[in-house]
Amino acid sequence: MSTYKRRFGDRKDGRLVRSLPAFNKFMPYIMPTRNDGCNQYEESFEVSAVDRTLRRLRVDGYKGIGILHFLIAAYVRCVSMLPGVNRFVAGRRIYAADQIAVVMTVKRSLTLDASETTIKVYFEPTDTIFDVYRKMNEKIEEIKASDGNNNTEEVAEALCRLPRFLLRFAIAVLRMLDYFGWLPEALTDASPFHGSMIITDLGSLRIGPIYHHIYNFGTLPVFIAFGAKRHAYELDRHGNMVDRKYVDCKMVMDERTVDGHYYAQFLQAYRYLFQHPEILETPPTRVVDDIY
């Protein structure tokens, strides 16, 4: 358990990373907005081993467990090894996030007129795929079973009742409060723009993944979009034709938080988990703390 005590300059949702080289601290002044510093990455991950593991887990009683749960669990596990991915830039300073918060949009049903909302689920670095499955399903079922609005929708509706000039002023005040880390915790908890990563399953809509922008407001440093599983017939090393399954992913990442080498290490670890999905069934033996 960390013995870190809050210091001046920390935020409610993260602590200031003070030991970064001067060049890294300088980058948010050169690229002040998140979209100034976004990098785009595309990869097709082979999911043959993942698909076999998920089928086994569904037989074992984990009804509906799928690639979404795996992608989030793999992300959480990578953060446990490479915590710098869970940093964010706010007020032109770089912070280490206190929690792993994953945001996604959910439609209450797959119809054209069904309403959609956002959910935010909090994870621990020690969480397994079973923890991810449980936490995600609890939150999704809570939203689908509810006829009313959640906190995010309530805040948005309250703001939209204001006249336009007052709404613009209110948003400007929120931006100022967020810049200095003074936003009330209740607002950051309700905000879909504050978190570690936002993910969207476009395979469920029967389209391919897109490069989705990351938002200048809030703290989200990573956006992941993925499509449906697809088959590819390829030659193995012996020259035999084999059927492999892939999932196409596109990621947009804030390069101001860590350098390219760090992101490359993260992506290599992410790819390794696709080849060895059974790793996510047990907690990590060690959790790495971010630098101070």
pLDDT digit string, tens, across residues 240-275: 888 899 999 999 999 999 999 999 999 999 999 999
* Cα separation, 64 vs 83, whole angstroms: 29
- Beta strands of 98-196 (E only): which ranges? 100-107, 116-123
Decide if pLDDT at 1 tops 60.
Answer: no
Tell which CATH architecture fits domain 32-146+187-280: 2-Layer Sandwich (3.30)
Closest CA to 49 of 244, 237, 225: 244
Check residue 73 and give its pLDDT.
98
32-54: average pLDDT:
95
- Spell out the domain ranges in the chain: 32-146+187-280
| Angle, CA of 6, 120 and 288, to the nearest 5° | 45
How many Cβ atoms from other residues are within 10 Å of residue 224's Cβ? 23
Tokens 């949009």 locate to 105
Q: What is the pTM of this model?
A: 0.91
Q: 35-44, 177-186, 200-209: lowest mean pLDDT where? A: 200-209
Check residue 69 and give its pLDDT.
96
190-219: average pLDDT:
92
- Per-residue pLDDT band at 150 (split at 50, 70, 90): low
Decide if pLDDT at 223 tops 60.
Answer: yes
Check residue 149 and give its pLDDT.
61
Check residue 158 and give its pLDDT.
82
| Whole-number percent of the chain with pLDDT over 90 | 73
* Cα separation, 246 vs 233, whole angstroms: 11
- Per-residue pLDDT band at 4 (split at 50, 70, 90): confident
- Per-residue pLDDT band at 109 (split at 50, 70, 90): low
207-217: average pLDDT:
93
CB burial of residue 84 (10 Å; 0-12, 13-18, 19+): buried
| Angle, CA of 276, 79 and 88, to the nearest 5° | 150
CA gyration radius for the chain? 20
Decide if pLDDT at 162 tops 70.
Answer: yes
Check residue 278 and give its pLDDT.
97
Q: Which amino acid is at 198?
A: I
